[in-house]
Structures are given as structure tokens and as C-alpha cells.
Amino acid sequence: MSIPLKVIIIGASSGIGRALATIYSRRGCEVGLVARRVALLNALQEELPTKSFIREADLTEPEKAIAQVKSLIEEMQGVDIVIINSGIYLNNPEIDWKKDKKTIDVNVTGFSAIAHVALRHFFQMGRGHLVGISSVSGIRGEGYSPLYSASKAFISNYLEGVRHRMAQEKRAIFVTDILPGWVDTDMAKGENTFWMVSAEEAATDIYFAIDKKRSHAYITKRWCLYAWLVKYAPKWFYDMFF
């Protein structure tokens, strides 16, 4: 009998995280569900066909979040994959420091805290797979929310650095950077959205990217074209059209 894969999903209460939890559970995996909204996690747990575990964690309180995820790993007796899906976008045209600080607390500090726990565990196990959900917004600084795009660039660069280190040290620890475009979640609001997909469609593409141990994946694939255009566009073109 094969041992079921064990997966922890940070930010599993809604959107992409919830859809990923459903996919992994339906494929026979044990799932650790982490989020602030425990009531939503409890409701999700009742729908999952396989064994699942719940932890309440707020990434704006990194020390408490670290302790919660560590205890979850212990309860699950080790995990194979950790997916850090939590992130926030706060529209901030007034350049309010409180909003920017919260974005940093969740997308940078909180992300790093959980990545630290995952990597320490994988080092002890001698194997593992760290997955981070960044964004195509991190490819280049965006005027509508400079701090948000910078925070997503941090995630992509952090994951690339870890992947590079694992390759140099020849460790069996894989790293995947997921770069979604517009996904139909609470975070995606506004009139200028395009190529929008459902959370379920995005999660399916993410699942296969992880399964293939891709170093990075655009969700959906068409966003690769957007990424290339944004990355190499001259400054005057970028300033005028993006």
C-alpha cells in the first residue's frame, strides 16, 4: 500500500487555497488546512474525503504562525509539500503606511516565516517541495500598487534563490513559483481585469505544475506572453500602456 502524500496549504479557507485542498484530498492526499478563518476551514474539512488537519494562523503575527505550522507538521507526522498561498492586496491610492505595512507583514514577513518552517522541516526529512504563490504583478513595478508588486517580486526572487541553493547543494528539495494572472477571487476586483479564470481552473493548473515539479508556472499559460511583454517592454512603452 502506498503512503498518501501529505500537503499543507497556507490560506486554505477560500479561493485558490480552498480549491487546491479539494483537489489534493480527492486525489487521496492528507491535507493540512491553515488560515485565519477557522469556521471556513471547519466547513471545508467536512467536505474533504481524506484525513485533514486544521490550524488557525494569522501571518501578521509570524511567531504565533510559526508555532502553529510547526505543531501541524508534528501532528501530521511530517509533510511532503507546503504551499504558501496566503497574500493580500490593499488598494492604496492615498499611500497609507498602515496599508503598506500590512501588505509587508503578510506578503513578505509572513511568507518568509512559513517558508522558514517548511525548509527547516525539509532539511530534516532530506526531501520536500516548497511552493509559493506570487503573481505576474511581481515581474515589474506597477503604479497601481507599488508595494504589492514589490512584495510579489520578493516572493519570486526568494523562491529562485532557495531553488538555486538546493541545486548547488544537490538536495532533493524542490521549489515552485506560481505566478497567477487574474483569478476570480475576493482579491480580484476592478474593471480592468482580463483573461480571468475561476479558482478551480487555476488550482487545477497549479496542481499539475507542482506535480511536474516545475520551477515556475504562469497561471494560466497565456500569462507567459504578458510576462514576456512586460519584462522586455521599453520604459516609454511600459509607462504609456501598463
Which positions are catalytic? 148
Q: d(Cα 217, Cα 214) in Å, to the nearest integer?
A: 7
Q: Are 130 and 118 in contact (CB under 8 A)?
A: yes
Burial (Cβ within 10 Å: 0-12, 13-18, ≥19) of residue 233: middle
Q: Which three cell numbers stand for residue 196?
A: 480571468
Q: Which three cell numbers stand for residue 52?
A: 485533514
Q: Which three cell numbers stand for residue 102?
A: 500590512
CB atoms within 10 A of CB 72: 21
E strand or H helix that includes residue 6:
strand 6-10
Q: Which three cell numbers stand for residue 18?
A: 480552498
- Which of 87, 82, 88, 138 shows the shortest CA–CA distance to 114? 82
CB atoms within 10 A of CB 39: 9
Q: Are 132 and 111 in contact (CB under 8 A)?
A: yes
